[in-house]
Amino acid sequence: MLHLKSSFLQFLLLAFNILTFVAFPFTSAETVDYKNIKNAKGDKLPNFSFCGYHASEVALPAIDRKAAKTLKPGTGDQSAAIQAAINEVYKAGGGVVALEAGTYKISPGLLILNSTTLRGAGTGSTILTVDSLSDDIFTMGNQTSKGKAIKTALITDDYVPVGTGTVHVDDASGFAVGQTVFVQRAVTAKWVAAQGMNDLNRNDAPQTWIKPGTLVQQPRRIKSMNGKAISVDVPLTDSIDSTYMTGQLVAYTPPSQPSEMGLENLSIKLSPTCSGVILTSTNCTSAAISVSEWTTDSWVRNLDLTGFNNFVSVGYNASRITLTDIRMTRDGATDGGAGYALDIAVTGTQVLVANCATLGAADTRSYAVATKTLTPGPNAVLGYYVEQAVESIEPHERWAHGFLVENSTTASVLLRNRGTAGSGHGWSVNQGVAWNVNAHTLTIESPPLGENFCIGCVGQVETGSNGTFISSGALVDPPSLYAAQLADRGFDASKLGL
């Protein structure tokens, strides 16, 4: 639960809600038939319920499960002792390393290994202190190899809509149920031009949005096969349109994937602070926590993090990660001269960010949650709270797809064309869905070949917002799209320990 002091932003939002209520006192929440939202091309809403630890099908492990090893605070730098305990528990097959209450001085570069959890006695109770940021403090997982393609087939459908889980291929031999696959396509110049992204120019310098040939990959697993019709576990979050591209199905063997790792119940404090320093200061760019590429079925929960500029990042090809109940405090004034930091940066897939918050002083500013280039969906942000009216939730650049923000209170939600901003960040997201958000401002635009949504959004809609709006200005039923879609699959979001 979050217990937070009220702020100007909350005041604004409360005032707005009261106005909405006074203006429409007799309307009750509109019920949205989310299963049947469909455009002329057949695209449906992405299914966001597959986000999180084990695709939200099982609860996070009990927080009070027995520890395999317990450490007490000692004098001097405790990194070596903590790492030795993690290594020992890992070698014995995994388990929890518990840190008793107290303050532990540590250095960056700690590695959480397969099947191990590092657990404190509570936030504000177990406190890790660090005074420099030469590296990420914690990295979860250590796999850096590539996957190996074993079979590629062409997708023969004219159009594979978003929300579909079945593609037809020219040759199904060599595919099998259970295989990991990429549903992929190479970006073409024709597609870039159709998106209006072919002539970006900033100060007379041409900018490249996405280079033709770049692969847009949707990581999946084969669920069933029927002749040349192959169905994957998670419905697609980006369409494949044969007018502009040729789709491929690629079966591959991933490298071994560290899993069942946790970091929970503690505080980490960096002092001197990095929060707000200009982005060009290279001694402050690392994160408090980096979930490494290929890490899967792992979580970060109940943490208080203070003094970082970039707090948590989830790498490409990481999947099924839950980040929950993380409070990030920015305790320095922001120098935005080189842009703004990202509190939570998501480039993996099936990442669930639940009940997290960005806190700090009035002159704090960052992107609270952002995806990056071609971040594959589904990814979901639930119940995010920001203390100051300067934070946004916003895909950062270049065609992420399948991104939900629901039940969140923030200064702004932006699903849009960033044009020449940054280095030609352009259309930042397709199939972005804002659901029951309270924001001061909303910028929701749809790309020429895609669609972004604002459903049950309360806030001022900025001009140019040509996305799909449903029930603007009033919250809708169901209160949580994620929980409703999960219930459709037979699972209960309230039992996941979020």
Ligand X SMILES: *[C@@H]1O[C@H](CO)[C@@H](O)[C@H](O)[C@H]1NC(C)=O
Residues forming contacts to ligand X in the complex (CB under 6 A) are 2, 34-35, 45, 47, 63-64, 93-94, 113-115, 121-123, 132-133, 142-143, 146-147, 165, 196, 235, 252, 256-258, 265, 272, 274, 281, 283-284, 302, 316-317, 355, 383, 385, 407, 417, 445-446, 448, 464, 466, 479-480, 485, 488-489
Q: How far is the CB of 193 from ligand X (least distance, A)?
A: 12
> Using CB atoms, what's the residue nearest to ligand X?
383
Q: Which is nearer to ligand X, 39 or 188 (CB)?
A: 39
Q: How far is the CB of 294 from ligand X (least distance, A)?
A: 8
Q: Which is nearer to ligand X, 22 or 199 (CB)?
A: 199
DSSP 8-state class, residue 16: H
Q: How far is the CB of 437 from ligand X (least distance, A)?
A: 10
Q: How far is the CB of 169 from ligand X (least distance, A)?
A: 19
Residues 6+ apart with CB under 8 A from 469: 444, 453, 454, 455, 457, 461
DSSP strands (E only) in 283-408: 287-291, 296-306, 310-314, 319-330, 342-346, 349-354, 357-360, 367-371, 379-382, 385-386, 392-393, 400-406
Q: Which is nearer to ligand X, 14 or 22 (CB)?
A: 14
Residue with tokens 């203070």, as numbered in its chain: 306
Q: Which is nearer to ligand X, 280 or 283 (CB)?
A: 283
Residues 6+ apart with CB under 8 A from 160: 167, 183, 236, 239, 240, 241, 247
Q: How far is the CB of 284 from ligand X (least distance, A)?
A: 6
Q: Which is nearer to ligand X, 138 or 316 (CB)?
A: 316
Q: How far is the CB of 40 from ligand X (least distance, A)?
A: 11
Q: Per the structure block, which two tokens stand in for 42?
A: 């057949």
111 and 139 in contact (C-beta within 8 Å)?
yes
User: Is the alpha carbon torsion for 458, 461, 467, 473 positive or negative?
Assistant: positive
Q: Which is nearer to ligand X, 77 or 488 (CB)?
A: 488
Q: Which is nearer to ligand X, 22 or 162 (CB)?
A: 162
Question: Which residues on neighbouring strands pair with residue 224, listed in sequence order?
Answer: 231
Residues 6+ apart with CB under 8 A from 311: 287, 288, 289, 305, 326, 328, 343, 344
Q: What is the C-alpha separation between 380 and 275, in angstroms, rounded? A: 25
Q: How far is the CB of 173 from ligand X (least distance, A)?
A: 21
